[in-house]
Structure 1
Amino acid sequence: MPRSAPRGGAETRARIAETASGMFAEHGFDDVTVAQVAKAAGVSSVTVFKHFPRKEDLFLDRSAETVELFQAAVEGVPRDAVLDALEALVLRLVDERAPVSGLAPGARAFFRTIADSSTLQSRALELVAGAQRALGDAVGDRLLAALFVGGYASVFVETARRVLDGDGDDVVVAGHRAGLERLFRALRDGVASAT
């Protein structure tokens, strides 16, 4: 059984991620090196890579948290209640304006940084594929997992577009919620029912 990271390790990881996010937002992901992030965070490059195996993971540091939320939501849930559990989770994330929902303060800088970096966009696609596999393992249904995660990613991308277009918070949140409602109608009743 793996040991949990010491509190200091979690604090170091959070400090590195916060430092990196600020630097990437200010200077662009591709123009900031891991060595620069390490220096600004007061750690070595080795320490950065201990917490984040890839540079892209410094910025997309909440992807594992998202997968864990999906897995926890369906743990021990009967297969016929999986969609209800996932829907309750994502609507709660909207209500909380959780960072993993794309609706938290600072989302514009986050989405702009991704939009400006093909490297981050490629890594985001890899993370979506990983989330599909992990959720598929958790529910025992890879097709359902692929449809949910793909649909959720689609709603997320549309939210990013609205944020980058400068839509107001209320419009962005309403659109995000409507997208999720449409997704779950499609998953339960078929795509034709959601149009």
Structure 2
Amino acid sequence: MTLFAERGFDEVTIPQIADAAGVSKMTVTNYFPRKEDLVFDQAEATIRSLADAVAARARGESMLTAIRRDCTHRIAAGDVTLGPPGAVFARIVDDSRVLTHRAREIADLRERALGDAIAAETGEDSLRLRVIATQLASVHRALFTETSRRVLAGEPRDAVFAELATTAPRIFDLMEPSLGEFCRRRDLPPGPAEQA
């Protein structure tokens, strides 16, 4: 990251990274198949995050509720899936077409993974359900974009996340009338407390 901050992501080569780390080029590429993975090392977890959140929801819980809870938890934790870890990181990404493209690709893949999870659960893969997946995923995408913009503008990350903690619930409230009942989980057997 120091090299990227000093020279720009696009200007730094894998051999230069390997040399700075004191390892072989092969070692770098074995751990990071794409150069972008050195920056977005949480990409796979980010891509799966929304699909995992809806898969883990409790009986009686809608997909919107599960995604809302997941988002609330991530905001409280200052999770990097909702905003860059700092201004240096944000600047590295913003200054590189390759990295800005990868950030959008990760968001697109997260949305697609959620759509796939909805299709698998409902047994239907339709435009309607893909649009719903887009709506559900849009909050995370918008929060990351807004956080990045504000961190780049010099606002303290903690202050931005504190504001997200107030703003995000209002966004989910607006979605509640149309998606609050969507895919409410009914297929799980009652838990021990429900059986009593």
Name the structure 2 match of 1:22. Answer: 2
State the structure with bigger RCO (CA 8 A, min sep 6), 1 or 2.
2
TM-score w.r.t. structure 1 length? 0.75
How large is the Cα RMSD of the aligned pairs?
2.3
Kindly tell me the number of residue pairs found equivalent between the two proteins. Answer: 168
Q: 1:134 to 1:33 in 2, by over 3 A?
A: same
Structure 1: gaps of 5 or more residues: 1-20, 191-195
TM-score w.r.t. structure 2 length? 0.74
The reply to whether residue 94 of structure 1 matches residue 82 of structure 2 is no
Partner letter of residue 12 of structure 2? Answer: V
Name the structure 2 match of 1:74. Answer: 54
What CA deviation, in whole Å up to 9, does each residue of 1:128-160 have, x standing for no partner?
Answer: 111111111123242222222233212211111
Structure with more of its chain in helix, by fraction = 1
Q: 1:79 to 1:48 in 2, by over 3 A?
A: farther
Separation of aligned partners in 2, 1:43 and 1:71: 36
Partner letter of residue 78 of structure 2? Answer: R
Q: 1:103 to 1:57 in 2, by over 3 A?
A: closer
Which structure has the larger Rg? 2
What CA deviation, in whole Å up to 9, does each residue of 1:94-140 have, x standing for no partner?
Answer: 11122333264xx2111111111111111211121111111111232
Name the structure 2 match of 1:145. Answer: 133
Deviation at 1:169, TM superposition (A): 4.2
Name the structure 2 match of 1:117. Answer: 96
Structure 2: gaps of 5 or more residues: 120-128, 179-196
Separation of aligned partners in 2, 1:137 and 1:119: 26
Separation of aligned partners in 2, 1:124 and 1:23: 20
Identity of aligned residues (%): 36
Name the structure 2 match of 1:14. Answer: none
Separation of aligned partners in 1, 2:34 and 2:15: 13
Q: 1:129 to 1:103 in 2, by over 3 A?
A: closer
1:64 counterpart (34, 44, 52): 44
Runs of 4+ in 1 over 6 A off after TM superposition: none
Q: 1:46 to 1:172 in 2, by over 3 A?
A: same
Q: Is the 8 A contact 2:83 2:143 kept in 1?
A: no
What CA deviation, in whole Å up to 9, does each residue of 1:64-101 have, x standing for no partner?
Answer: 12223323211153696111111111111111122333
Q: 1:79 to 1:134 in 2, by over 3 A?
A: farther
Separation of aligned partners in 2, 1:22 and 1:55: 15
Q: 1:92 to 1:80 in 2, by over 3 A?
A: closer
Q: 1:26 to 1:178 in 2, by over 3 A?
A: farther
